[in-house]
């Protein structure tokens, strides 16, 4: 029966080709459980999401994504809209959402066993972020310097892995200027001239950079980090502390929390990109709202 099959969405290029190998192992492991499997691979991200949504709509007991944060972002959107649970076989270079739910460092067969067991038990409900164009995100929405870095990182050639973000950051430092922005958190406006705004549903992006270290997937809140205007030297000194989450103690870092956040850039920055989960989702002004318990993830418990 169609509603008893797994739909497996694979990014074959994730992790420098590791996604393709893990995809084959995932399918074999699911079939070893005597489960029916339908594999989806798109010609690009938008095509992959459309195909996965269409197959899931025809019946599925769950969606399994194989790859990194990019394919997880697609899976989050398909699963949240369809109501099916999401399983993750992490095989990318960052794996931030997989890390947030505790399945970032598993062998394929172990990950599949966890998915199968959790599907029988119902999985765990987690919050998502939802932006005003209808897209969901699992980890972090970013505006400003880190969005510009993300755009540059995505354009870098080759399987660079976790070094992709630091290399892109060094390149972007030469071109970026601080931005004037109005940040509205649960209706209260705050004016900043800053380097970046990060809206965290989970704590990390870019391969365990803990930009919003206090963010949790189940608290019904975003945790928002604003890095104020600073020199290149100051930013370079601050950067390593992001991996520990201690950057929020810096005097030029401001932190907010709230269930709805609107970012209103100055007119001259109205075309700046907005990224979520490492993918470009819109540009200019954006509003993000917490969608409580919007996704069931196939894990036994959160770490």
Task: Look at 257 and 159; give whichever has higher pLDDT.
Answer: 257
Instruction: Please write the tens of the pLDDT for every residue from 38-73.
Output: 999 999 999 999 999 999 999 999 999 999 999 999
Under 8 Å between Cβ of 300 and 165? no
pLDDT of residue 157: 67
Instruction: Please write the tens of the pLDDT for every residue from 70-126.
Output: 999 999 999 999 999 999 999 988 899 999 999 999 999 999 999 999 999 999 999
How do 6-10 and 37-40 pair as beta strands? parallel
The total number of structural domains in the chain stands at 2
Q: Is the pLDDT of residue 11 over 90?
A: no
Which residue range is the domain that position 19 belongs to?
Answer: 2-122
Q: Are residues 153 and 110 in the same domain?
A: no
Instruction: Please write the tens of the pLDDT for every residue from 286-296.
Output: 999 999 999 99
Task: Look at 18 and 193; give whichever has higher pLDDT.
Answer: 193
Q: Residue 20: inside a domain, yes or no?
A: yes
pLDDT of residue 2: 65
Q: Tell me the percentage of the chain whose pLDDT exceeds 70.
A: 96
Q: Are residues 99 and 62 in the same domain?
A: yes
pLDDT of residue 160: 55
Backbone angles phi, psi at 139, to 5 degrees: -105, -85
Q: Are residues 46 and 165 in the same domain?
A: no
Q: Are residues 164 and 61 in the same domain?
A: no
Alpha helices, H only, 60-128 = 69-82, 96-100, 108-121
């Amino acid at each position: 029966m169609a509603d008893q099959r797994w739909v497996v969405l694979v990014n074959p290029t994730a992790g420098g080709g590791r996604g393709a190998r893990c995809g084959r192992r995932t399918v074999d492991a699911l079939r070893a459980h005597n489960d029916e499997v339908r594999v989806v691979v798109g010609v690009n991200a938008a095509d992959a999401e459309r195909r996965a949504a269409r197959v899931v709509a025809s019946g599925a007991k769950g969606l399994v994504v194989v790859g990194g944060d990019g394919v997880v972002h697609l899976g989050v959107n398909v699963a949240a809209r369809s109501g099916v649970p999401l399983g993750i076989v992490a095989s990318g270079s960052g794996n931030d959402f997989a890390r947030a739910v505790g399945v970032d460092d598993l062998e394929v067969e172990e990950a599949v066993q966890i998915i199968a067991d959790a599907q029988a038990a119902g999985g765990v409900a987690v919050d998502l972020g939802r932006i005003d164009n209808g897209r969901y995100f699992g980890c972090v929405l970013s505006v400003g310097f880190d969005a510009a870095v993300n755009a540059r990182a995505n354009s870098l050639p080759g399987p660079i892995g976790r070094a992709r973000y630091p290399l892109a950051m060094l390149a972007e430092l030469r071109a970026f200027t601080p931005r004037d922005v109005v940040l509205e958190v649960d209706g209260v406006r705050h004016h900043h001239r800053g380097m970046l705004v990060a809206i965290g549903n989970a704590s990390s992006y870019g391969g365990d950079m803990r930009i919003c270290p206090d963010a949790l997937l189940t608290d019904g809140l975003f945790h928002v980090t604003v890095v104020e205007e600073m020199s290149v030297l100051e930013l370079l000194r601050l950067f390593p502390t992001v991996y520990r989450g201690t950057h929020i103690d810096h005097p030029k870092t401001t932190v907010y929390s709230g269930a709805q956040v609107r970012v209103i850039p100055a007119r001259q920055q109205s075309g700046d990109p907005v990224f979520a989960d490492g993918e470009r989702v819109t540009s200019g002004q954006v509003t993000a709202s917490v969608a409580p318990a919007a996704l069931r993830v196939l894990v036994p418990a959160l770490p």
